């Protein structure tokens, strides 16, 4: 059985796992990232790719709106090549709550989110198929993100900085535990069935929806 030693074992190749991998690598820590399928095989690759400005939350969750704005800015600064600044239109028709539309810019301002009122005719210049009975339209700084490119570039940078390793199709089947501490993980290659032991000083569970299953192994 092959034995590999690393400073940190990261389980889960979604955007959380690859982000942790790069962050640790930038701190000089050599990592091994594995996933039982491949990068972004779960929720990170199954989303709609919308990078929220936070505007959708301003009426009922100001904290979430602010967090979206801050995290969106961080991501755009770190990985602009993975993001398309499409903008977004928030529209209200005559059938919608006029009071909500009136207060929407104030709520955006409270969250620090840029909100520009534009005319219905200008909005139709952006999206010709909008309804005829528009009451108000606001332009917001929403964007789209390519999670696959984001994941690949995080892994590539981690490899460049510390020779970190990525193993796809590798499933954790058990842990080696000594004195209440995980010292190694036994992994199976899903393609060949080969078992490997990964010895690590730290283990990070970034398995997303499968995190509880990983935790139960410990």
Q: What is the pLDDT of residue 213?
A: 97
Q: How far apart are CA 197 and CA 174, in angstroms?
A: 10
Exposure b/e, 14-39, CB count within 10 A at least 16 = b: bbbbbbbbbebbeeebbbbbbbbeeb
Q: What is the pLDDT of residue 130?
A: 96
What is the tens place of the pLDDT at every residue in 119-150? 999 999 999 999 999 999 999 999 999 999 99
- Residue ranges in the chain modelled with pLDDT below 70: none
Residue 33 structure tokens: 């990232």
Q: How far apart are CA 20 and CA 23, in angstroms?
A: 5
Q: What is the pLDDT of residue 187?
A: 98
**Domain residue limits, the chain:** 1-8+31-38+168-218, 50-145
Q: What is the pLDDT of residue 111?
A: 98
DSSP per-residue codes, the chain: -EEEEEEEEEE--SHHHHHHHHHHHHTT--EEEE-SS-TT-STTTSS--EE--SGGGTTT-HHHHHHHHHHHHHHHHH-GGGEE---EEEEEETTS-HHHHHHHHHHHHHHT---EEE-HHHHHHH-TTS-SSEEEEEEE--EEE-HHHHHHHHHHHHHHHH--EEESSEEEEEEEEETTEEEEEEEEETTT--EEEEEEEEEEE--GGGHHHHHHH-
């Amino acid at each position: 059985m092959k034995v590999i030693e690393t400073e940190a074992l990261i389980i889960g190749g979604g955007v959380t796992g690859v982000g942790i991998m790069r962050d640790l690598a930038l701190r000089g820590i050599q990592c091994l990232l594995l996933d039982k399928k491949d990068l972004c095989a779960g929720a990170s690759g199954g989303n709609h790719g919308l990078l929220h400005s936070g505007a959708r939350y301003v009426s009922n969750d100001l904290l979430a709106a602010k967090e979206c704005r801050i995290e969106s800015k961080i991501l755009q600064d770190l990985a602009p090549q993975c993001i398309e600044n499409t903008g977004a239109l928030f529209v209200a028709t005559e059938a919608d709550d006029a009071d909500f539309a009136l207060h929407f810019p104030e709520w955006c301002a409270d969250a620090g989110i840029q909100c520009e009122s534009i005319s219905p005719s200008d909005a139709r210049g952006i999206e010709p198929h909008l309804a005829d009975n528009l009451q108000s339209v606001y332009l917001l700084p929403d964007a789209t993100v390519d999670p696959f490119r984001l994941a690949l570039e995080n892994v590539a940078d981690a490899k460049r900085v510390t020779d970190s390793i990525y193993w796809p199709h590798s499933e954790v089947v058990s842990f080696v535990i000594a004195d209440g501490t995980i010292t190694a993980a036994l992994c199976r290659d899903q393609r060949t069935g080969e078992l490997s032991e990964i010895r690590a000083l730290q283990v990070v569970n970034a398995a997303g929806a499968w995190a509880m299953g990983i935790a139960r192994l410990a």
